[in-house]
């Protein structure tokens, strides 16, 4: 525990220097993070059961004994289920400034969010081999993998009701996140996890920022998911709920194209010019006119005319409530197919983070 405490103090000094926090913020940040700390004997990590890996971290299956720190901190009844449970352990592969900042961003955001059924819950954190590890509730897959699997089915077998339900849940989760003055900045199909009963959970808050106004710039982050970013985010590094709404529109494109990369065939440095000329992504083959219109509204250049998540939640709920909507959905797709031959979606690995600097735009 002494080594962990020393390592925490080292991380804390770095993040304090980077963010230039006030003394009051220093105290609150340290208290929040300490309260979420998991004792060594409470966590077992199964390194032979890797769930995924990225540039900066790997995720393993694990088991948490006793009551999770989140459940101790939260007064919500739903949070009390996190006791003696299987978990996902996100373990940093390196220990540099970037990993430290991402750790603290996630801890800060998750402490504010506490619990929502459509946001992945951070149960706690600890140090493993002198590197930070974050413990999350366990999900069974991610949305990007799920929609790519639908390519194996004929159109009539694709469960559009489930897909619309997932989109509605994501919009609800993002509405909750926005209500807490958090901007996610990395909303994409790869960062939405799914349970076995298709409950959607927004994850990966490593790029999240906390504020109640539009947010401009950052002190450390050099890489952003450019293909999911709004015009003002690319050009001015200006982030808000409305830039997350733009990303939600890109996520809808991913879903209805069954996992196609956004702006396929367009170089990253050409995307801003493409968007400013008024061009947008084409309608995916599996999107009805209603769904594509919703995407295009998310991609309005003027922030004021873009919908808020509250409006998107209501519209998607209306689609879900329409009992006859799904037979009509298939019929409209057939009609659109006859009107215009659509290109088949290609199998591609998703482009995640790309360097964002003035020379590339």
| Catalytic site positions | 186
Task: Tell me how far CA of residue 251 lies from CA of 19, 90, 143, 284, in angstroms.
Answer: 30, 23, 10, 12
Round to whole Å and give the CA distance between 225 and 207.
Answer: 10
Other C-beta atoms closer than 10 Å to the C-beta of 148 total: 20
Nearest to 110 by CA among 32, 20, 7: 32
Measured distance between the N- and C-terminal CA atoms of the chain, rounded to whole angstroms: 47
Other C-beta atoms closer than 10 Å to the C-beta of 197 total: 6
Q: Where are the beta strands (DSSP E) in 116-231?
A: 122-128, 131-137, 141-142, 182-183, 192-194, 200-202, 209-210, 215-216, 223-224
Round to whole Å and give the CA distance between 35 and 290.
Answer: 46
Nearest to 143 by CA among 187, 96, 99: 187
Q: State both tokens at 109.
A: 């955001």
Element (H, E) at 173: helix 160-179
Per the listing, tokens 């032979």 go with 48
Contact between 124 and 97 under an 8 Å Cβ cutoff? The reply is no
Round to whole Å and give the CA distance between 113 and 49.
Answer: 28
Give the three-state DSSP class for 90. strand
Q: State both tokens at 76.
A: 């919500």
Round to whole Å and give the CA distance between 48 and 71.
Answer: 28
Q: State both tokens at 142.
A: 């991610």
Round to whole Å and give the CA distance between 287 and 160.
Answer: 10
């Amino acid at each position: 525990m002494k080594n962990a405490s020393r390592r925490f103090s080292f991380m804390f000094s770095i993040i304090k220097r980077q963010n230039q926090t006030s003394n009051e913020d220093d105290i609150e940040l340290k208290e929040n993070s300490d309260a979420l700390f998991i004792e060594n004997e409470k966590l077992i990590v199964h390194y032979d059961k890797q769930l995924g890996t990225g540039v900066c971290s790997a995720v393993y299956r694990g088991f948490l004994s006793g009551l999770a720190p989140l459940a101790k901190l939260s007064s919500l009844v739903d949070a009390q289920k996190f006791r003696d449970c299987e978990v996902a352990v996100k373990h940093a592969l390196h220990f540099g400034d970037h990993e430290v900042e991402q750790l603290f961003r996630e801890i800060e955001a998750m402490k504010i969010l506490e619990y929502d059924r459509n946001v992945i819950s951070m149960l706690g954190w600890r140090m493993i081999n002198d590197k930070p590890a974050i413990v999350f509730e366990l999900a069974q897959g991610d949305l990007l993998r799920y929609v790519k699997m639908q390519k194996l089915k004929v159109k009539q077998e694709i469960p559009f009701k489930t897909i619309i339900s997932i989109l509605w849940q994501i919009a609800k989760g993002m509405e909750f996140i926005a209500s807490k003055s958090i901007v996610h900045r990395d909303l994409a199909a790869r960062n939405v996890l799914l349970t076995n009963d298709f409950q959607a959970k927004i994850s990966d808050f490593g790029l999240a920022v906390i504020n109640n106004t539009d947010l401009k710039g950052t002190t450390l982050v050099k890489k952003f998911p450019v293909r999911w970013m709004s015009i003002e985010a690319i050009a001015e590094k200006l982030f808000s709920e409305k830039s997350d709404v733009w990303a939600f529109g890109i996520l809808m494109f991913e879903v209805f194209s069954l996992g196609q990369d956004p702006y396929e065939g367009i170089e990253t440095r050409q995307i801003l010019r493409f968007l400013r000329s008024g061009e947008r992504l084409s309608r995916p083959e599996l999107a009805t006119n209603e769904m594509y219109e919703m995407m295009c509204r998310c991609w309005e250049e003027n922030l004021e005319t873009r919908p808020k998540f509250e409006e998107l939640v209501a519209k998607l709920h209306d689609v879900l409530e329409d009992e006859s909507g799904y037979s009509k959905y298939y019929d409209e797709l057939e009609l659109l197919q006859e009107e215009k031959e659509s290109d088949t979606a290609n199998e591609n690995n998703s482009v995640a983070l790309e360097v964002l600097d003035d020379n590339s735009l």
